[in-house]
Structure 1
Amino acid sequence: MPFPILRTPFVVLSEIFCLLEPNETVTTSFCSKNIKRLLRNHYRQRKPLMWETHMREHENDRMVAIAKYRSDIRRVVLSAVHISKLNEATNKVVEINGYKTEFSSRYLNLYFEDQVSGSKWIVDYVTDLFNVDVRGLAIDRYSIWAFDWINTRQEKSLNRIGLLKPTNDDSNADELVDYVLKNARCSDLLAISEYVPDNYRFNGKLEPLKEVCFSPNGHWVTCDNLMNFDAMNIYIGYSRLTVSDLNPFLRHWRAGGSKRLEYLEVHFENGTVFNNFFDEDLEIVRTNEVGRYPTSYGVIMVIRSGYCVQRTDGIKALVKCDQQKFYMIVQHERATNWREELP
């Protein structure tokens, strides 16, 4: 016997809707206009909603995902696919609101003639359904329109921006990288893995944020860039910096610059000469103190048998360097766990 869901009191429906996963919610909303209306009303009464919407535009991946607040685990809820990929002979396709739709076990695929319009449609649909803004954006060089579109469609800034490198194209993208760096407005993460030419230089400043990650193509980052990255965590991959280049940054930090910095990690592209010394005016000394920092990629970074440098306001940092990597952990109470090394 069919369940009379539309006759069920809204308070009961809300309890049922709370049991649905985000992908299940989106799929359910396509059942009828009345069901969609009930779901929209449900999410407009649930504040604050601890979910975030993420948009991905990378090559053939054009989709919207939902994640719990500040979580790295995202569930795709809706995907925009070009109509040329549709095979009605093998796919279970239905038409909803004029769009051909394929129901899968995980999420819905919607087919469009114009994938840009399709991507915009699925973003508008999901954000309207859940009454949320887009908080994460991952794009490639061919999807810069999404970067501008998101920034103009909503007042809230993004939490995360990722510029991804193409899988089969190693051409230069210096203008694109420069555009993203100068116009990025995000609070949590700016990550760029796009190819960058050897002669590229960034002369601007980044807006304050929690983390920057330029890997694996971080060869363009200079010491001046490090000084102008107002971030708590900085990760640079395949850097062409040397220990001599990092001494000015340490001098800058010691004088009170980069006050929000908690963790710095630099990977040297070709190795660097390191003879266990820094500039004398930095007053860096060896120490038995041990520093620990929970990195964003799930590893507890530990520095022991390293060096200690002190800022003019008394804040200390542990530094360790070898031919391949440079690490720096700042002794902020909420960020680190230091102790004296036992004999």
Structure 2
Amino acid sequence: MTTPFRLFFLPYVPLKQVLDNVGPETLIILSLCSLRSKSIVVSYKGPSKNVQLKLHFGSEDSLVGSYGSGESIRTYIRLTVEQTGKLTTDETLETVRIGSFEKVPVKRDYNFMKGKHIKTYWEDRMTGLAAIGDYGREIFNRDISEVMIGEKQAEDDHRRAAEWVKNSQGTIQSLRCNFKPKIDKDLDFILENFNYTKKLHLAVEPSHHYSPAKLPNFQIGTLDVFFSFWIKQEHLLKMDCKTVTLHAPQLRNQDFNVFLKHWLAGGCSKVKDLSVGVSELFDYQIVFDGVDFVERESDLERVFVDEDGTDYTIMGGYDVKRSNITATITKQSSSHFWFIVW
């Protein structure tokens, strides 16, 4: 079998030592060279496999990987999916085996946005995305950690993406959505059919009358809703997430008062960082009505470290206490409710 990815000659060095130092990009290329090299890559265990895999449906149609942590994290695109119809009639490409597909046309490419990557060509793009998702899981011996749902190119794209997650691994840690729904049921389908366990990022704008058909899963680590005007008090009280960010919901001062009383009574016990851009100016008299609190001096300086390890200097604020746990409502802005638990 011919391949565009030629094996290179090396002096005698223990194979694991070589693979430990080549990085995940090279593992992908080696796995495409032959069945033997793929078998070697699959059986290898070492630092070159310390990656987080992300599968993008409808945005970049790609398998993305990242490794490292903090400021040194590196993200790159390894495999992208294109339709064979984009190939010119006089263009002949080398082929490789990906999963059960024996002759997948491929070529290496580079552009400023995506960097170096491998284009794979398929008659059906969703078949290709499912195939590279399964291939990434096999090569790196781990599940896809994040699924990105973008715009539909065909009516059944989101359904097929949900079926792939369910059939291949059952759950995903993180679900990230950025698309324009034709009808509100498009968003309902996503919230009801993807089993996300740690993070939900929604940049989806439904109609102004939208209300989810079923209560979404708010028992996760991180929740970030950009178009959050549909979030009501009942939803807020169910958000038992470590980090919650809501952008411009239609919540009012009375809703935050109810939330504080709910938290003081033991509700939303996992919340550590709740940030809400409010739709009306903050009225502390309403928010703290019936709530015991301590106003801290404006020159009192405290440092809060968020989930990403970022430090924030908090000046003053209002402290409320539940048992031996203290939370602060900051005074950073009159249009921002920021509730942090120390």
Question: What TM-score results when the alignment is normalised by the length of structure 2?
Answer: 0.82
Contact 1:92 1:102 in 2 (8 A): no
Distance 1:187 1:70 in 2: 21
Query: Within the alignment, does 1:272 sit opposite 2:280 as a pair?
Result: yes
Alignment match, 1:98: 103
Q: 1:195 to 1:99 in 2, by over 3 A?
A: same
* Deviation per residue, 1:200-247 (Å, 9 max, x gap): 1235252522100001x0111112111111210000012111222211
Partner deviation per Cα, 1:253-283 (whole Å, 9 max, x = no partner): 1111000100000013xx4133432343112
Where does residue 294 of structure 1 map in the other structure?
305
Structure 2: how far apart are the matches of 1:307 and 1:201? 33
- Give the corresponding residue for 1:50: 50
Q: How many residues align?
A: 314
1:152 partnered with 2:167: yes
Q: Distance in 2 between the 1:28 and 1:82 partners?
A: 24
**CA RMSD, 1 decimal:** 2.8
Contact 1:232–1:261 (CA under 8 A) maintained in structure 2? yes
The answer to whether the 8 A contact 1:161-1:191 is kept is yes
1:194 and 1:319 map into 2 onto residues whose CA distance is 28
Aligned counterpart in structure 2 of residue 162 of structure 1, from 176, 188, 194: 176
* 1:78-116 per-position Cα deviation (integer Å, ceiling 9, x unaligned): 111111222476x78322342211112512101111001
Could you tell me how far apart the structure 2 residues matched to 1:259 and 1:19 are?
Answer: 43
Identify unmatched segments of 5+ residues in structure 1. 332-343
Shift of 1:184: 4.1
**By how many angstroms is 1:137 displaced?**
0.5
What's the CA shift string for 1:52-99, capped at 9, x where partnerless?
Answer: 22101124x11111223777643211111111222476x783223422
Alignment of 1:119-130 (within 5 A): 119-130=129-140
Q: Work out the CA distance in 2 between the residues paired with 1:73 and 1:208.
A: 29
Q: Distance in 1 between matches of 2:304 and 2:182?
A: 35
Match of 1:37 in 2: 39
Q: Which amino acid aligns with 2:290?
A: D
Q: Tell me the SS of whatever aligns to 1:304.
A: strand
Aligned equivalents of 1:48 and 1:249: distance in 2? 46
Gaps of 5+ in 2: 1-6, 97-101, 111-115
Q: Is the 8 A contact 2:23 2:48 kept in 1?
A: no
Q: Using structure 1 for the length normalisation, give the TM-score.
A: 0.82
2:206 aligned partner: 196
**Is this contact kept in 1: 2:24–2:48, CA < 8 A?**
no
Query: Which 4+ runs in 1 deviate beyond 6 A?
Result: 69-72
1:47 Cα deviation (Å)? 9.3
8 Å Cα contact 1:141/1:163 also seen in 2: no
Q: Does residue 262 in structure 1 map to residue 255 in structure 2?
A: no
* 8 A Cα contact 2:22 2:48, kept in partner: no
| Partners of 1:127 and 1:299 in 2: CA distance | 31
Check conservation: 1:184, 1:207, Cα contact below 8 A. no
Work out the CA distance in 2 between the residues paired with 1:49 and 1:26: 10
One-letter identity of the residue aligned with 1:152: N
